[in-house]
Structure 1
Amino acid sequence: MAKINHDQLFKELLTTFFVEFLELFFPPILEYLDTDSIQFVDKELFPDLVRGEKKILDIVALAKFQEQDYSFLVHIENQASNAPKFNQRMFRYFCSLLKLSVFVF
């Protein structure tokens, strides 16, 4: 029997049912999110160019505010177990996304 890749399955389910996920767990976000504008973006970040460290994020979605030209990013990381320093890792991802968003979006 083939081993199930739970991480990939989670990503597929979440991208397929992204609006429903937000509706269930973060309903206030739908008050200002234009659901027709959601785009899943390249999740590859290069936070440390000197060391060449490459990170791939689980899910990053770009969405627009309703009736506005402004956009925002939604970043979701799947974590099946309690990982040490997860908060620090998420903060590093946030900093990388912030730098990227200033220059790209």
Structure 2
Amino acid sequence: MFKYFARLHEKYDLPIYPVVIFSFDEPKRAEPQIYRVAFPDLNVLEFQFGAIQLNRLSWRDFLTQPNPVAAALMSKMNIPQQERPQVKAECLRLLATLKLDPARMQLISGFVDTYLRLDDTEKQVFQAAISTMGLDEQEEIMEIVTSWQEETLEKVALNLLREGIATEVIVRVTGLTPEQVQHLQAQLTQEN
């Protein structure tokens, strides 16, 4: 933090409020918010910075925040295992109320989907939760959920392509169209 602070301060010569967001799952103990350089006879530097440790925050405290960053970061907060599907549904509900442009919506929903992966049982609870909230009928919600599903299918298809599985088999397994699989194959070829 001190190095980032020093470089930015030197480059822009402006006051900088240093803050770090810790997004790791473990450990849950509080992280230090100070950097010191000291010798027995001289205290050279005592640099303090703000720290936001997501795994120590309750996701419930951010439910009413009309902020897309809150929707994204809720997925990395302190979530009891049994509440994971509810948190994902609440993130979705929050996104729906924000009326973001499609690019921002995809960015935030992609973050939530990446960091709050649900197993099959949790997915069923999630679907029930969005139905209860009345979200399953809203067009923008269905677009987000559909994009999450398509991204997952595309990842599966890419893995199968890397393994040399035939296009026809991938189409049958994933439900993607032959054109979509061919497009993914072209992407894979460009990467290599």
Does TM, scored on the shorter chain, surpass 0.5? no
TM-score bracket relative to the smaller structure: 0.3 to 0.5
Q: Give the structure with higher Rg (CA).
A: 2
Higher strand share: 1
Greater per-residue helix proportion: 2
Q: Tell me the TM-score normalised to structure 1 length.
A: 0.35
